[in-house]
Amino acid sequence: MAKVPLDHATVDACRAAAAAIADDVQRFIDRHTTVGIERTVARAYGVTGADPEGTPLANALVDRIHKAGHTGRGVAYFLGRALLEGASSAQEAAEQIAYGGASLDVEGGPTTHECRGALELETQRAIARMDEARRAREVFKARFPAAELPLKYVIVATGNIYDDAVQAKAARFAGADIVAVIRATAQSLLDYVPEGPTTEGYGGTYATQENFRIIRKAADEASEETGQYLAQTNYSSGLCMSEIAWMAAVERLDMLLNDAMYGILFRDINMERTFVDQYFSRRIVARSGIVINTGEDNYLTTADAVEKAHTVLASQFINEAFARRAGLSDDQMGLGHAFEIDPWLEDSFLLEVAQAQLVRQIFDKHPIKWMPPTKFKTGDVFHSHVHDAMFNLAGVMTHQSIELLGMFSEAIHTPLLMDRYLALKSAKYVFGTAKHLGDEIQWKPGGIVERRAKEVLHKAHELLVQVKGDGIWDAIGGGAFGDVKRRRTGGKGHAGVAARDPEYLNPILDELEGGR
């Protein structure tokens, strides 16, 4: 492979700085929980359904506990206590607490230890449900030949889950390996997960557990029909990061968009909330064998892709450090980056290749996620198609793992059936015609590509050292990533963060941490 020279000492120093950055945050994470995490725990215990207004029972339950100021005890404590007091199931316990006005007095009553004991069977059942879904996915997937890299990833976004299912199957027919159902705009800001199948959404389709099932079924059918596996992905991000992770885990999704900082920067979700939520969501992801896709590509839509390329690399080190702390293995970390340099800049292709190659070598076991150009796309679909072809060429020659295919109509609308077909056709062509290009060439010593790779790594290291010194809370406050500035206590969802009580009970997390 045409490698760029890599200064391993600098790479090690980057990892060490990222580790220190993540450790600082992890100390905070380990002392806090959120309403989102507690709703996830409730769902894991089988709490399901919604009231006639559509408020999920998990929300009604946790909201009542949160209002009473007891989130820090953990919803498991209250569910376990209700079981000890005669509730027949976690669902019945949840209904009693949410709707029946059961006492939330934490003085006296059973001990945390007793509540844990009452939930013992339920905890094992919850974990077994996740493990069984993972096993079922792996067994099914093993029936099909492994797809060639880069995996071809396309999105569908009709707003109607039943149309999405048809489009997902069509995508597999046309050659897709992975299908994502884009979420409805602003779902990341909803502090609940809607219930049931949905047929209305702007910019995409709501992520719900039932919608996950509908797409999984369609994807399985398409896999059978075409003899090639179709992987499913969705978004574990926003205020319901960990609930979505749980739903994805039990509904056999293959991948999840999941980033330690994306929500903070691009959805203005509170920093503390996001860091605490990403940890629990990633614990679930780790157990489920799901591959995450991180969102560094977004930095280059708000910041300049030439000047700020190193922020992407720095963030990848940070995402890796957080993911490791949540138990993910390297082959579950689809670190993201993108082809977003101004296409009219001379030698921009070489700069793109340099970064792609650098990332490939530093994260050599990771299923790197390569994102297409968007920022400089215009309504000229013909030119856009050429732009995407260059992106495909960079992707295949640097051995990227997961490639979200560019759409020639990127600047116009959510992809039409035909747009996806053409994207898949041209990717198939470029991936085939240049399959071994990267193996056959060498970069000119001291040339543009080598110099660029060296510069990006050097600047990423400088930034990581600076972020380590400032602490990530202040670094984000100063606009270190994506040129976006956020305050530690600002943003949405901060009220949903709670300090863990010394008696905090979360047997699901304990199980996922496996005696960490």
Catalytic residues: 262, 297, 369
Tokens of 318: 């940070």
Under 8 Å CB-to-CB from 260, ≥6 apart: which residues? 274, 275, 278, 294, 318, 319, 322, 323
Measured from the Cβ of residue 418, the count of other Cβ atoms closer than 10 Å reads 11
Residues 71, 35 contacting (CB under 8 angstroms): yes
* Nearer to other proteins (CB atom), residue 136 or residue 417: 417
Q: What's the closest the beta carbon of residue 317 comes to other proteins, in angstroms? A: 25
Residues 275, 488 contacting (CB under 8 angstroms): no
Q: What's the closest the beta carbon of residue 384 comes to other proteins, in angstroms? A: 12
Measured from the Cβ of residue 408, the count of other Cβ atoms closer than 10 Å reads 23
* Nearer to other proteins (CB atom), residue 233 or residue 374: 374
* Nearer to other proteins (CB atom), residue 44 or residue 156: 156
User: Alpha carbon 322 to chain centroid distance?
Assistant: 12
Measured from the Cβ of residue 444, the count of other Cβ atoms closer than 10 Å reads 10
Contacts to other proteins by CB under 8 A: 159, 169-170, 173-174, 184-186, 189, 202-203, 225, 266-268, 301-304, 342, 344, 374-376, 378-379, 411-414, 416-418, 421-422, 483
Q: What's the closest the beta carbon of residue 268 comes to other proteins, in angstroms? A: 7
Determine how β-strand 178-181 pairs with β-strand 231-235.
Answer: parallel
* Nearer to other proteins (CB atom), residue 363 or residue 376: 376
Under 8 Å CB-to-CB from 380, ≥6 apart: which residues? none
Q: What's the closest the beta carbon of residue 454 comes to other proteins, in angstroms? A: 25
Q: What's the closest the beta carbon of residue 424 comes to other proteins, in angstroms? A: 9
Q: What's the closest the beta carbon of residue 173 comes to other proteins, in angstroms? A: 5
* Nearer to other proteins (CB atom), residue 96 or residue 158: 158
The tally of CA atoms less than 13 A away on the side-chain side of residue 239 is 21
Tokens of 438: 């990267």
Under 8 Å CB-to-CB from 96, ≥6 apart: which residues? 82, 87, 102
* Nearer to other proteins (CB atom), residue 162 or residue 173: 173
Measured from the Cβ of residue 263, the count of other Cβ atoms closer than 10 Å reads 28
Per-residue buried b or exposed e for 43-58, using 16+ beta carbons within 10 Å of the residue's own CB: bbbbbeebeeeeebbb
